[in-house]
Amino acid sequence: MKILVTGGAGFIGSHTTKQLLDGGHKAIVYDNLSRGFKDLVDPRAEFVLGDVSEKEKLKKALSGVDAVIHMAAFIIVPESVRKPDLYYQNNVLGTKVLLGAMEEVNVKKIIFSSSATVYGDPLELPLNEESEIKKPANPYGQNKLDMERLCKDFGEKTGSDVIILRYFNPYGPGEKHSPETHAVPNFIKSTLAKQPIPLYWKGEQIRDFIYVEDLSRAHIAAVTANEYKIYNIGTEVGTKVIDVVNLIFKIVGYTVPINDLGERAGDVPALYTSSEKIQKDFGWRPRFSLHEGLKKTIEYFQTAT
Ligand SMILES: NC(=O)c1ccc[n+]([C@@H]2O[C@H](COP(=O)([O-])OP(=O)(O)OC[C@H]3O[C@@H](n4cnc5c(N)ncnc54)[C@H](O)[C@@H]3O)[C@@H](O)[C@H]2O)c1
């Protein structure tokens, strides 16, 4: 298939592009490089420098494309709280333009990067795709819900396939957001720099950490899905954040002090998901243990500039 990856110069998009190419697909990366890096883009991919709000450029890039994997977004939660209009413009209105372009050139499949954030603070664990959707705690979460809704409406209107992937906590090589608000890269960078690790809630929160190569592989399955589908992408294992810290210490062979930042408003105590649905439909399951994934991620940060 010929697949256009919006946001393909970012952390998850660059891994997914590589796996598409390895799997014999053709890939076009469409990215404005506002938050991405050209050097993360696989040289075998065609690269188009463009914004998802540029409809004519998109229409040209979409020529002959069978499916779109839509990852382009701003993703920093605290920034979304400070700049909700910017986030709405880039994420929600950008998605609207993309879907309009797809409709005009008759591209009838989209795989959309959503997030576990749509489940808020769940009453029951593990989550599954039928779990209740909660009012998001921040504009980024609201964007993801709005974008899901736009994709669903597009599918109903045009008869297109719409596959929503709700990611849990991705981590792995190539994660270089700025500022970085995610736990794993921050813990690793502090440890390698022999600096104290900033830790909220004494690390008692539970998360479902999914290695980026496993997450990317779920997209290779999803491009073959049809109609309207939602899949949660996680490992089915809830891990305490402090256990991630201790595993990092074990892998590097030393410890650094903890900088106890106390409690943080808006943090959900525990999130992890069943991945039974995608396992059943595609045989997808994670291949990397947390230990293996962290080891590879540490190796990346040891050599990254
Ligand atoms: N990283 C996570 O923990 C996580 C968790 C759940 C969901 N997601 C979703 O996965 C997707 C990818 O996340 P990531 O971590 O790889 O982020 P990232 O910031 O590394 O990548 C996003 C890419 O989108 C590009 N982009 C942003 N706005 C654009 C626009 N208007 N036009 C064109 N390109 C634009 C950026 O330049 C960047 O390359 C996002 O949609 C995010 O919401 C990420």
Choosing from 87, 119, 140, 167, which is the catalytic residue? 140
- Give me the DSSP letters along 203-257: G--EE-EEEHHHHHHHHHHHTT--SEEEEEES-S--EEHHHHHHHHHHHHT----
Beta pairing partners, 212: none
- Give me the DSSP letters along 245-265: HHHHHHHHT----EEEEE--T
pLDDT tens digit sequence for 34-64: 999 999 999 999 999 999 999 999 999 999 9
Contacts (Cβ under 8 Å, ≥6 apart) of 237: 208, 272, 290
Ligand 1 pocket, CB under 6 A = 6-7, 9-13, 31-36, 51-53, 71-75, 90, 94, 113, 115, 167, 170, 177, 182
Residue 34, Cα to own-chain centre: how many angstroms?
17
CA 275/CA 94 separation, integer angstroms = 29
CA 27/CA 47 separation, integer angstroms = 9
Q: Which fold has domain 2-171+209-236+273-289?
A: Rossmann fold (3.40.50)
Mutate to test the pocket of ligand 1, among 14, 18, 31 (most ligand atoms within 8 A of CB): 31
- Peptide linkage before 126 cis (omega within 30 of 0): yes
CA of 74 to the centre of ligand 1 (A): 6
Contacts (Cβ under 8 Å, ≥6 apart) of 303: none
Nearest to 184 by CA among 244, 114, 258: 244
> Where exactly are the structural domains of the chain?
2-171+209-236+273-289
pLDDT tens digit sequence for 246-255: 999 999 999 9
CA of 222 to the centre of ligand 1 (A): 18
CA dihedral 174, 176, 180, 185 (to 10 degrees): 40
Known catalytic residue at 140: yes
CA of 256 to the centre of ligand 1 (A): 31
Q: Which atom of ligand 1 lies nearest, measured to the CA of 144?
A: 43
- For residue 239, what pLDDT is reported? 98
Residue position matching structure tokens 């797809």: 102
pTM: 0.97
- For residue 274, what pLDDT is reported? 98
- For residue 264, what pLDDT is reported? 85
- For residue 266, what pLDDT is reported? 80
- For residue 181, what pLDDT is reported? 87
What are the counts of helices (DSSP H) followed by strands (DSSP E) for the chain?
11, 13
- For residue 137, what pLDDT is reported? 86
| 23, amino acid identity | G
CA 246/CA 198 separation, integer angstroms = 14
- Peptide linkage before 179 cis (omega within 30 of 0): yes
Residues in the chain with pLDDT values less than 70: 305
HSE-CB at 35 with a 13 A cutoff on CA atoms is 20
Cβ–Cβ under 8 Å, residues 151 and 96: no
Question: Can you state the percent helix, strand and coil of the chain, rounding each to 5?
Answer: 45, 20, 35
CA of 73 to the centre of ligand 1 (A): 4
